Amino acid sequence: MNKFKIFTAGLIEQNPVLFQLLGMCATLAVTTTVVNGIGMGLSTTAVLVMSNLLISLLRKIVPQKIRIASYIVIIAGFVTIVDMVLKAYVPSVSNSLGIFIPLIVVNCIILARAEMFASKNGVFPSVLDGLGMGLGFTIALVIISAVREILGNGTFLGISLFGANYEPVIMAVMPPGAFIILGVVIAVVNVIAKGGKRNA
């Protein structure tokens, strides 16, 4: 597979949220504002790139039987680093994401890429795969959080869009809205993907 394809696979065709349905907890929980969505997406991308890099480097050393346990320790280590960096430099993002930063450890996307890609491929392709999947996750989070923030708050990235008379759909930023909007976004993406295939 050529390098460019490895990178773009995660962005669209195999988008972790929209097509593989991985990492749903974080997707539903943090997408109340676009800033949160970007923060979560980039934190996950950072962990994914670093863990893919290290796991790919160690792939010939780690014994087969304890590989999952060692992947989890590696991932948890990087998550702790990201958690501490966020707390030190962007405390506002760290506060609003709260418990979902440590919970990146159990985000299935990261373990899935470690097991399915980094443990079988070289260092450079693994980093590209991590970057592609991470940015794909970020894109999905931005799409969902944009819908929720615009409907629920009338703002985009904190900037008011409709003026003071806009009556926000508060349900969109509440828990039920998260489920319903994610369902609708996935349905729309499915329709677009099918339409594309029919035309091709």
By beta-carbon proximity to other proteins, the closer residue of 84 and 161 is: 84
Q: Which is nearer to other proteins, 128 or 182 (CB)?
A: 182
Distance CA 10, CA 5 (A): 9
Contact 36, 137 (CB under 8 A): no
Structure-token match 């998550």, residue found: 79
- To other proteins, the closest distance from the beta carbon of 7 in angstroms equals 26
Which phi and psi (to 5°) does residue 161 adopt?
A: -100, -35
Binding residues for other proteins (CB under 8 A)? 21, 24-25, 28-29, 69, 72-73, 76-77, 79-80, 83-84, 99, 102-103, 105-108, 111, 171, 174-180, 182-184, 186-187, 190-191
Tokens 């050393």, located at residue: 61
The residue assigned the tokens 């994610």 is 182
Of 142 and 171, nearer to other proteins (C-beta) is 171
Minimum gap (Å) between residue 97 Cβ and other proteins = 12
Nearer to other proteins, 21 or 157 (CB): 21
DSSP SS3 for 20: coil
Least distance from C-beta 103 to other proteins, angstroms? Answer: 5
Q: Give the position of tokens 């773009």.
A: 8
Supply the DSSP string of 124-174, one letter for each residue.
HHHHHHHHHHHHHHHHHHHHHHHHHHHHHHSEETTEESS-TT----GGGGS
Rg (CA), the chain: 18
Token pair 């998260």 is found at 178
Nearer to other proteins, 124 or 179 (CB): 179
CB of 132 to other proteins, least distance (A): 22
- Minimum CB separation of residue 22 from other proteins in Å reads 8
